[in-house]
Chains A and B, each alone.
Chain A
Amino acid sequence: MSATSRQADPIEDYIAALTAALHGPARIKARMIEEIHDGLADTVEAHTREGMAYQRAAHQAVGEFGTLDELVPSCQRELTITQARHTARAVALTAPFLVACWYLAWTTDHDQPWQLPRTAQLLAVHLAGVASVAALLAAATLATTGTLARWLPIPHQLPLAVAWTGTTASVAMAVATLALATASVLATNWPLLAFAGALAAASHAVVAASARACRQCARLPAT
């Protein structure tokens, strides 16, 4: 390999380092990186049109863009807020399913010759409460990080709060899945309870993955 071919491209190095440093929703991150790559390419093109050699133009373009230490925190802040909005949306859409599942189990229980144990009934009430509070917090997050953010500053700890709200909701969904699976074994009307359990399991999978990504983003430094 010749020395020339081994010579690193400053633009590609910068983009690779930026890609490695940022975490967030894949589609949004890819869009942000692509735009930044385009911007650097345009800057290099402008410099080379003025007669500058590519390597020098690329170094200058990177210098004008700002160091990674200057750029990463502001990019990460946007990605973290976007991830928090994704998690909030997942909770706001799926938590009502959890409440519906328990309502289904509750109403089905009244038609059965057997009764859900008192402990299970209390558990159902608590899980429904957790899911309802999580859904309300998620809806509030969607409002405050969207249009309302023009007038209200977004609290720095909000993404972390959303991450743990999502985590709590996902745990409640996992417990609901187990409880509904157990209840479906005992009930005569088992297909309904099994369906509700499958719905709770699917909700758990969606919310848990999103909350995990949100916890990861919220731990990263951002401005």
Chain B
Amino acid sequence: MRADAVRGHLDGLLLAVLEPGPLHGYAIIAAVQHRSRGALELRTGTIYPALNRLERLGLLSSSWQSSGERRRRCYELTDAGRHTLASERTAWSEFTTAIGSVLNPAAPPGFAT
């Protein structure tokens, strides 16, 4: 799937992979690619400004954590982030149902012969 097709859904993807617990930038990218089985072509650099934006909006919180000799910034969902993720899931479900019913129309009731 092309990067520009993913862009509009990036916030939801990031919130979803952070739902189980805190992750740092590279682990977030790996989680998105793992969950999509490599189908999503992310320009991985673009997740960093997106994470900063989600933190400014209060949907994520972050802190530096040591990992061996290195220090990494880890992000986790806030309560507002969990609420937004639930809304994103509902909106996505409604969207796919609507598009699916147009692309794959079921035989309308009463049309069956």
Q: How many A-B residue pairs have CB under 8 A?
A: 73
Q: Does the CB pair A81–B56 fall under 8 Å? A: yes
In the complex, the chain B residue whose C-beta lies closest to that of A68 is B45
Q: Does the CB pair A70–B48 fall under 8 Å? A: no
Q: Shortest Cβ distance from A172 into chain B, in angstroms?
A: 29
B100 within 8 A of A: no
**Chain B residues whose C-beta falls within 8 Å of the C-beta of A34 in the assembled complex:** 73
Instruction: Give the CA-CA distance A145 to B52 in the complex, in Å.
Output: 13
Q: Mark B50-94, 1 if CB is under 8 A from A, else 0.
A: 101100111100000000001011000000100010000000000
In the complex, the chain B residue whose C-beta lies closest to that of A18 is B45
Q: Number of A residues contacting the other chain (C-beta, 8 Å)?
A: 26
Q: Does the CB pair A75–B49 fall under 8 Å? A: yes
Instruction: Give the CA-CA distance A78 to B45 in the complex, in Å.
Output: 14
B18 within 8 A of A: no
Q: A36 and B45 in contact (CB under 8 A), knowing A78-B52, A150-B84?
A: yes
Q: Does the CB pair B26–A43 fall under 8 Å? A: yes
Q: Does the CB pair B56–A145 fall under 8 Å? A: yes
B43 within 8 A of A: yes
Q: Shortest Cβ distance from A19 into chain B, in angstroms?
A: 14
Q: Mark A48-69, 1 if CB is under 8 A from B, else 0.
A: 0000000000000000111000
B113 within 8 A of A: no
**Chain B residues whose C-beta falls within 8 Å of the C-beta of A31 in the assembled complex:** 73
**Chain B residues whose C-beta falls within 8 Å of the C-beta of A100 in the assembled complex:** none
Q: Is the interface of B mostly helix, strand, loop or mixed?
A: helix
Q: Shortest Cβ distance from B72 into chain A, in angstroms?
A: 6
Q: Does the CB pair B48–A32 fall under 8 Å? A: yes
B101 within 8 A of A: no
Q: Does the CB pair B44–A38 fall under 8 Å? A: no
Q: Does the CB pair B48–A146 fall under 8 Å? A: no
Q: Does the CB pair A39–B46 fall under 8 Å? A: no
Q: Does the CB pair A147–B44 fall under 8 Å? A: no
Q: Within the complex, which residue of B24, B48, B72 is in contact with A36, where a contact is CB–CB below 8 Å?
A: B48
Q: Does the CB pair B44–A64 fall under 8 Å? A: yes
**Chain A residues whose C-beta falls within 8 Å of the C-beta of B44 in the assembled complex:** 39, 43, 64-66
B29 within 8 A of A: yes
**Chain A residues whose C-beta falls within 8 Å of the C-beta of B48 in the assembled complex:** 32, 35-36, 39, 75
Q: Shortest Cβ distance from A37 into chain B, in angstroms?
A: 10
The B-contacting residues of A in range 116-169, CB under 8 angstroms, are 145-147, 149-150
Q: Mark A160-193, 1 if CB is under 8 A from B, else 0.
A: 0000000000000000000000000000000000
Instruction: Give the CA-CA distance A78 to B46 in the complex, in Å.
Output: 12
Instruction: Give the CA-CA distance A37 to B53 in the complex, in Å.
Output: 18
Q: Shortest Cβ distance from B34 into chain A, in angstroms?
A: 12
Residue from the set B24, B48, B56 with the largest chain A CB neighbour count within 10 Å: B48
Q: List 20 A-B contacts (CB under 8 A).
A: A31-B73, A32-B49, A34-B73, A35-B25, A35-B48, A38-B72, A38-B73, A43-B29, A65-B45, A66-B44, A66-B46, A71-B43, A71-B46, A75-B48, A75-B49, A77-B49, A78-B53, A81-B56, A147-B57, A150-B58
